[in-house]
Amino acid sequence: MKILLVEDENKVGRFVERALAELAYTVRHVTTCAAARDALADSPYDAIVLDLGLPDGDGLVLLAEWRASGFNEPVLILSARDAVGDRIRGLNLGADDYLPKPFSVDELVARLRSLLRRQSSGPRATVLEHRGVKLDLLSRIATCEGRTVELTSREFALLELFLQHSKRVLTRTMIAEKVWDASYDLETNLIDVYVRRLRQKFERPGGEPFIKTIRGTGYQLA
């Protein structure tokens, strides 16, 4: 999946770029209307994340141009202008969603994925991958070096979380929040049980570890 990110605030742009790249999206980050026009003329994109206040113009003008030229992929607007009027204008011009700044990157990612999921009824898939393990988020199939691995929905959610944050240590609290919502009792060792199950499913006996234990902190993909 290729995402065009149009955002002139470098810090915000880099943050969003990194979050999307971690999910295996290919991101092209541009900071002006002119560069955004060039990028879209250059190559196709599966979605656009568009800031409105750009140094050389208004993101809404770009949006109107793109829609008029037949660009049908999802566009998510990011903007400090959270006034109802702007939001309505954006949606009328063909934006699919609107996120007022400041926003949480997790929310941006969730909304973008939901737009992409709605959009992709065909063979396009969102696949997370790490060292031979692939997780297809649309078909919900996990494979390890090509063979299908059966997962319960909780195991799937836990593996998805690891693959989304493949370079990060996941604390037990974070895992509990994301995979068990509020229902998790931190006094239990359920997370360790589930991590052990994933290890059994994705590690070869005597082979390299797939998930490392970070003592006192949590777990990380190896």
Residues lying near Ca ion in the complex (CB under 5 A): 8, 51, 53
Please name every residue paired with 79 in a beta bridge, in sequence order, or none if there are none: 100
Cβ distance to Ca ion smaller for residue 8 or 203: 8
Cβ distance to Ca ion smaller for residue 55 or 146: 55
Biggest CA-to-CA distance, the chain: 61
CB of 71 to Ca ion, least distance (A): 21
Cβ distance to Ca ion smaller for residue 11 or 167: 11
Cβ distance to Ca ion smaller for residue 9 or 65: 9
Q: Alpha-carbon distance 134 to 139, whole Å?
A: 12
Shortest CA distance to 99 belongs to which of 69, 65, 74, 126?
Answer: 74
Q: Alpha-carbon distance 91 to 88, whole Å?
A: 5
DSSP one-letter code for 111: H
CB of 14 to Ca ion, least distance (A): 14
CB of 39 to Ca ion, least distance (A): 17
Residue 111 · residue 25 · CB < 8 Å:
no
CB of 32 to Ca ion, least distance (A): 10
With both helix axes pointing from N to C terminus, report the angle between 33-42 and 59-68 in degrees, rounded to the nearest 10: 20
CB of 8 to Ca ion, least distance (A): 5
Cβ distance to Ca ion smaller for residue 101 or 165: 101
Residue least distant from Ca ion (Cβ): 53
